[in-house]
A and B are shown apart, each in its own frame.
Chain A
Amino acid sequence: MANIADSIYNMRLLDDLARQETVIHKLHPLVKLLTTVSYLTVVVSFGRYEVAGLLPLFFYPVMVLALAELPVKPILLRILLVSPFIIGIGILNPVFDQQTFVLAGREFSRGWVTFLSILLKSGLTVTAALLLIATTGMDRLAGALRILKVPRVFVLQLLLTYRYISVLMEEVARTLRAYSLRAPKQKGVHRSAWGSLAGQLLLRTFDRAQRIYEAMCLRGFSGEYHSGEINKICRWDWAYLGGWVVFFILARTYNLPLLIGSLLTGVIR
């Protein structure tokens, strides 16, 4: 149940953040989507033993976080909460790959490197996805999808799902609250109420969908869905996209930290 509240807050928080007006927020949603996808592709394309090469890619989330004036804490918290699955799978790497190597005079299992690599990638990809939504918002993202010719049916459906999550979550929360008040010692819903509890919620959902459809029809809905016009992509948008893509390619092509490092250590020597 705490889970429900948290989920609602999380969505509302991202929704709130997306309403700010910063340089990043003002960018065209499609440009942000494309940048994010290129970023993710580059991050994910790194080999499993790669750690150092990933580090320059930290620039992207850090810059966006700063420019978009987003709070760091909730986003970091999200990353920590996410993906027990990843850690669960990744933590087995050191078990299965026990080849060792020497770093700074000490022995390490190579599995730890792959694990670290997975963790880094996880952090970067999760952050990138959250940054996209936190600087764009669901409605503008939907606009971008429409520009990409994603069918109207799907986009409208997606928006409705998004819109009604909080309504239905609160409804479920109230029902569970009522349930727990009369079943003080139970953790979950007892088998005898499985069907009727969830079933009634479902029927109410059906009826609600019906009313929503009627409300839409009464305002002229005929299967077509019109969202507001989104501004054209301007030169600055292209520059943003281009700039990042060039940086990503550079970071992918050259192991920048290694270059910097060897330059520096070379100089010192």
Chain B
Amino acid sequence: MHMADALISPVVGGAMWAATAGVAAYSIKKVQTEMDEKKIPLMGVMGAFIFASQMINFTIPATGSSGHIGGGLILAILLGPYAGFLTIASVLAIQALFFADGGLLAYGCNVFNMGFFSCFIAYPLIYKVLMKKEYSTKRIFLASVLTAVIGLQLGAFGVVLETLFSGKTELPFGTFVLLMQPIHLAIGVVEGLVTAAIATYIWNARPEIMEKASSGETIGNISIKKVVAGLVAAAVVTGAGLSWFASSNPDGLEWAMIKTAGTAELEATGGLHQQLSDLQSKTAFLPDYSFQANEDQPEQSTGEGEEAWPAVDGGTSTSGLVGGSLTLILAALVGGGISLMKRRKYRINS
């Protein structure tokens, strides 16, 4: 459930980056004060392990399909929430850079969706609480599945909200939710079951590893109060980010569309945008300059300062097509030219 750069707006990306950076900074502080530096290589190598273990396909009984683990929960269980969160963050960074899973701008969203929810909400509020009394196989299974499911549901909901607020797709909120949540319910169950199987194994083979994480320095002293405070802070940050986004949603076009030619589909999302649009006109982060550009065009038929659908006007669309093709051709020529020159230089040199 990686968010991609192409689906978010700069403001949503920025807000989530800020939230993630905040949580990460706090985690780093915690890691440095509460743990021995022994954990640093452990975090690094565990990050690599998560990567590698994502290649294992676990066959899901009675379905014939298979799934793999995301890793957030098992990291929280073994390393504690702070180190777990940081480890997930580095896994996601490498995925973004080398595999183009997610992206650099969406990185904040992804860390938040996949790290924050499982390490700082699902883990302390569910897993920890359930496991407080005793360790048993049954309990590990129950706690893992519940935790994984809830963590993933939150994460999936995060994806929905972030996508929606970015306004790059036409997907209505309801449809998107109905699409995302059930899929992630299934994924969560698998994740929970596999995590439980691993945790049980480790619990039997090397209990000291898990004892340390669960009772020890790292997690023992997260109080519920702190978690709630953290949640509130996160909510504030997110809220602030979202209203910032709202105030600057560059995509005013749709708003114009509703006014000029409201359709049933557009109204579904239109309500939200309508509310946000007042703020939008006041402050503009990267205002959609194409409006201005269009203002300069005498052929432009609408004069409200907002862009009408370019295709309404034959002249603009032709210019667009011609200009667009030219731009692309030019880009290709420049690239080709440079490569050619470079190659020739090599030949001369050698």
Touching chains A and B, CB distance < 8 Å: yes
Closest to B11 in A: A45
A114-B317 CB under 8 A given contacts A44-B5, A161-B91: no
Asked if residues B198 and A165 are in contact (CB atoms below 8 Å), the reply is no
Closest to B38 in A: A213
Distance A42 CA – B10 CA, assembled complex (angstroms): 8
The stretch of B53-61, B218-226, B236-244 that contacts the partner chain: B53-61
* CB under 8 Å from chain A, chain B span 54-106: 55-59, 61, 66, 69, 74, 78, 86-87, 89-91, 93-94, 96-101, 103-105
Given the complex, which residues of A lie within 8 Å of B314, measured CB to CB? Answer: 102
* CB under 8 Å from chain B, chain A span 49-87: 49-53, 55-56, 58-59, 62-63, 65-67, 69, 78-79, 82-83, 85-86
Minimum Cβ distance to chain B for residue A74 (Å): 12
Type the 1/0 row for A165-184, where 1 means its CB is closer than 8 Å to any CB of B: 10111011100100000000
Distance A260 CA – B42 CA, assembled complex (angstroms): 56
Asked if residues A92 and B171 are in contact (CB atoms below 8 Å), the reply is yes
A37 on the interface (CB 8 Å rule)? yes
Minimum Cβ distance to chain B for residue A237 (Å): 19
Type the 1/0 row for A203-232, where 1 means its CB is closer than 8 Å to any CB of B: 101101110110010000011000000000
B270 on the interface (CB 8 Å rule)? no
Given the complex, which residues of A lie within 8 Å of B290, measured CB to CB? Answer: 46-47, 50, 53, 255
Given the complex, which residues of A lie within 8 Å of B46, measured CB to CB? Answer: 205, 209
User: How many residues on B have C-beta within 8 angstroms of the other chain's C-beta atoms?
Assistant: 121
Minimum Cβ distance to chain B for residue A190 (Å): 6
* CB under 8 Å from chain A, chain B span 254-302: 254, 257, 261, 263, 265-266, 286, 288-290, 292-294, 297, 299
The stretch of B116-124, B125-133, B202-210, B227-235 that contacts the partner chain: B202-210
Distance A128 CA – B334 CA, assembled complex (angstroms): 18
Asked if residues B55 and A173 are in contact (CB atoms below 8 Å), the reply is yes
Distance A45 CA – B289 CA, assembled complex (angstroms): 10
Determine which of B105, B202, B337 lies in contact with A44 in the assembled complex, contact meaning CB atoms within 8 Å: B105
Minimum Cβ distance to chain B for residue A166 (Å): 8
Determine which of A46, A79, A93, A208 lies in contact with B170 in the assembled complex, contact meaning CB atoms within 8 Å: A93
Q: What's the A-B contact tally at a CB cutoff of 8 Å?
A: 396
Distance A191 CA – B196 CA, assembled complex (angstroms): 12
Asked if residues B104 and A36 are in contact (CB atoms below 8 Å), the reply is yes
Distance A62 CA – B31 CA, assembled complex (angstroms): 42
Distance A49 CA – B168 CA, assembled complex (angstroms): 9
Chain A residues touching B, majority SS: helix
Asked if residues A203 and B202 are in contact (CB atoms below 8 Å), the reply is yes
Determine which of A59, A102, A163, A262 lies in contact with B334 in the assembled complex, contact meaning CB atoms within 8 Å: A59
Asked if residues A96 and B51 are in contact (CB atoms below 8 Å), the reply is no
Distance A130 CA – B96 CA, assembled complex (angstroms): 9
Given the complex, which residues of A lie within 8 Å of B28, measured CB to CB? Answer: 151, 153-154
Asked if residues B44 and A165 are in contact (CB atoms below 8 Å), the reply is no
Asked if residues A118 and B169 are in contact (CB atoms below 8 Å), the reply is yes
Determine which of A96, A125, A156, A223 lies in contact with B103 in the assembled complex, contact meaning CB atoms within 8 Å: A125
B303 on the interface (CB 8 Å rule)? no
Given the complex, which residues of B lie within 8 Å of A195, measured CB to CB? Answer: 197-198, 200-201
Known: A129-B103, A186-B59. 11 other contacts (CB 8 A): A40-B5, A66-B334, A86-B7, A110-B309, A157-B40, A162-B94, A172-B53, A176-B56, A188-B58, A205-B49, A257-B320
Mark B residues whose CB is within 8 Å of A: 1-2, 4-10, 13, 24-25, 28, 31-32, 37-38, 40-49, 51-53, 55-59, 61, 66, 69, 74, 78, 86-87, 89-91, 93-94, 96-101, 103-105, 163, 167-172, 175, 193-194, 197-198, 200-202, 205-206, 209, 250-254, 257, 261, 263, 265-266, 286, 288-290, 292-294, 297, 299, 309-312, 314-324, 326-328, 330-332, 334-339, 342
List 16 A-B pairs, Cβ < 8 Å: A52-B324, A56-B331, A66-B338, A79-B100, A96-B175, A157-B90, A169-B52, A186-B59, A189-B66, A194-B58, A202-B74, A209-B41, A213-B40, A260-B322, A262-B316, A264-B319
